[in-house]
Amino acid sequence: MTGVLDVLAWAHRFADPLAWLVVGTFLAAAVLDVADRREARPLAVLGWGLFALFWLTLVHHFAFAQKSIVEGILVVVAVPACLYAGYLLAQGRESLMVLSRAVGVMGLVFFPVQTIDPARQFLIETVTRHTEFGMSLLGQTAPGDFTVVSGAEANPPRPDYRNTFEFYQGDHRITYTILIACTGLGSMAIFAGPILAVRAPLGRKLRALAVSLPVIYVLNLVRNVFIALSFGQSHLQVFPDVVMDLFGTDDPYMVSYYVADRLLAQFVSVIALVAITWFVVRELPEVGVILDDALFMLTGKEYDLAGALGAESATDRPTTQTTDRPMD
């Protein structure tokens, strides 16, 4: 088992280059699809194979380094799911070209911000300021209740951004650092990708973006405030021995963090994203084809999620027909 974990930890170094390769492959397939789907499909199938490798490089990071139950499970499931998507596409499930295009757009939204330092710093410091403002609305202000310092002063040191909250309990210092994963960018990319990828009128796309991205950003700030105060002020020291054993830590001050973030916030986030999905599909039924494919891969049954949610099907809009064409 140790040898497998060592290999998975070593593989994490390839995550970023693989991510760019996945995005480039899917976007190239999307461009080629405009001219000839028969030529684009093998490239998209290759993209799904590379996407499976990408998730495999993240298993150790999320499941063992970050000790995230939700993200760890999702990453492990994503590996066979991507391989299955590639298999179905190769077998002729043409609708998966829409999902392939959506993944490329998701990456185009997410990875430039993650990898370009000025963009990453701007987003992280903006979220930090807004989180600080959210705490002030609850009567928690600097420097009395906490201080905000550079990540370079954190332990262990982080990039030199103004993104670290310091709390003190007696002589003990607790630090909560806002990273790119704390900005909501990943969740926003997950929604922006399908919305921008489907063929639909621009007005409805913009409305779908308006009911998803701002809501995700605000809810993420609520999440940050909740975790920062719960962790920094140790409000969730529940079943400390059980929690420390579950997450493999001997630091009792980490109990509130794991309960607030890994157990409560992440599970509530899943519920929130499902609710936002409902609003998006109601506004932009074309996105339903992506969700239908996801449900088919899970259950082996065909679904019409847009219809089930009471949204008008894209095929019921004869003046704005935008569904993907079949293979010629």
Catalytic annotation, residues: 182, 223
Distances (CA, A) of 15 to 62, 84, 192, 223: 12, 21, 22, 27
Among residues 130, 112, 92, the alpha carbon closest in space to that of 20 is found at: 112
Q: What does the alpha-carbon distance between residue 133 and residue 139 come to, in Å, rounded to a whole number?
A: 10
Q: Do residues 50 and 25 touch, judged by C-beta distance below 8 A? A: yes
Distance from chain centroid for Cα 74:
10
3-state secondary structure (DSSP) of residue 163: strand
Give strand ranges (E) for the chain: 147-150, 162-169, 172-177
DSSP secondary structure of 58-121 = HHHIIIIIS--HHHHHHHHHHHHHHHHHHHHHHTT-TTHHHHHHHHHHHHHHHHHHHHSHHHHH
Which residue bears the tokens 């509530």? 268
Peptide bond into 156 cis (omega under 30): yes
Name every residue whose Cβ is closer than 8 Å to that of residue 61 and which is 6 or more positions away in sequence: 12, 15
Q: Evaluate whether 148 touches 131 at the Cβ level (below 8 Å).
A: no
Q: How far is CA 224 from CA 164, 177, 219, 306, in A?
A: 12, 10, 9, 32
Angle subtended by helix axes 202-210 and 213-232, to nearest 10: 20
Long-range interactions of 209-213: CB distance < 8 A, separation 24+: 211/276, 211/279, 211/280, 211/283, 212/188, 212/276, 212/279, 212/280, 213/188
